[in-house]
Amino acid sequence: MSSSKNYSRREITKQIGVAAGLSLATRGFAMTGPATPAQVEGPFHPVHPNAETDTDLTLLAGHTQRATGETVLVRGIVRDTEGKPLFNALVDVWQANHHGRYSHSEDPNPAPLDPHFQGWGLMTTGREGNYGFKTIKPGPYPLKFLGEGGWRCQHIHFKVSCLGYQSLTTQMYFHGDPLIEQDLEIAKAPKVLRPLLIASSVPDEATGLPQYAFDVSLAPA
């Protein structure tokens, strides 16, 4: 029922505020540091408007079944390289489903689509630069379908933009994923900066779900 999705939106908004407040209280403001490393956008950024792009990617309106896979929360703060939180930055996220396939007409991967997975979300940051969304861990996928060798490890794509700053396209990786070591895309980032792209998790106090922290730093325009 659609009311199920509406309830989910209210709950996730509440959880975002609580989690972001805890994150800000415990981490404080970052010191001056480098901008988050840019990563390739990839060929599967959504090109057609989705019916939904809210912050709960695991449940579609009118559906009672959630997306297949491990449900996780992603939380973070968008800052500039001086450590100032950025309000009203646009955070655009998209990813493969649990089976490693994108809901994109050009994805040649024969893995199944998930009719219950949103796969794309759009949000803006709060006054303290905070953002957050609920999703599933994306599956890895073999690159042979794109004419290459090896595998892409689990990752979520981000495009972050804010007035007065350089827009950033990057990717978030998951700590502990054994495929990170052979992933050719993360290897393109300077070695010293790669840890900025790998998110670790702690249990969310409200839900018990894994909560991954992924902060983003934008350079001035």
> Of these residues, 66, 79, 101, 102, which one is catalytic?
102
C-alpha 190 chain-centroid distance: 21
157 part of the active site: yes
Question: What does the angle CA 26 – CA 32 – CA 33 come to, to the nearest 5 degrees?
Answer: 95
Which position has the token pair 């489903």?
97
Q: Quick one: pLDDT band at residue 9, thresholds 50, 70, 90?
A: very low
Q: Pinpoint the alpha helices (H) of 34-161.
A: none
7 part of the active site: no
Q: For the domain bounded by 2-218, which CATH number is listed?
A: 2.60.130.10
Cα–Cα distance measured from residue 53 to residue 94, given in angstroms and rounded to the nearest whole number? 10
77, containing H or E segment: strand 71-80
Residue 11: CB atoms within 10 A of its CB come to 14
pLDDT of residue 47: 84
The pair of three-digit structure tokens given for residue 161, joined into one six-digit string: 């933009």
> Of these residues, 152, 165, 173, 212, which one is catalytic?
152
pLDDT of residue 70: 98
- DSSP-derived secondary structure for 169-183: EEEEEETT-GGGGG-
Cα four-point dihedral sign 95, 99, 104, 109: positive
Cα–Cα distance measured from residue 13 to residue 19, given in angstroms and rounded to the nearest whole number? 10
Q: What is the pLDDT of residues 141-186, one digit of tens each?
A: 999 999 999 999 999 999 999 999 999 999 999 999 999 999 999 9
- What does the domain layout of the chain look like in residue ranges? 2-218
155 part of the active site: yes
Cα–Cα distance measured from residue 40 to residue 42, given in angstroms and rounded to the nearest whole number? 5
Tally of helices (H runs) and strands (E runs) in the chain: 1, 12
> Of these residues, 157, 165, 173, 212, which one is catalytic?
157
**Overall pTM > 0.75:** yes
152 part of the active site: yes
Q: What is the pLDDT of residues 35-49, one digit of tens each?
A: 999 999 999 999 887
> Of these residues, 141, 165, 173, 212, which one is catalytic?
141
> Of these residues, 99, 155, 165, 173, which one is catalytic?
155
What single DSSP character describes residue 97? -
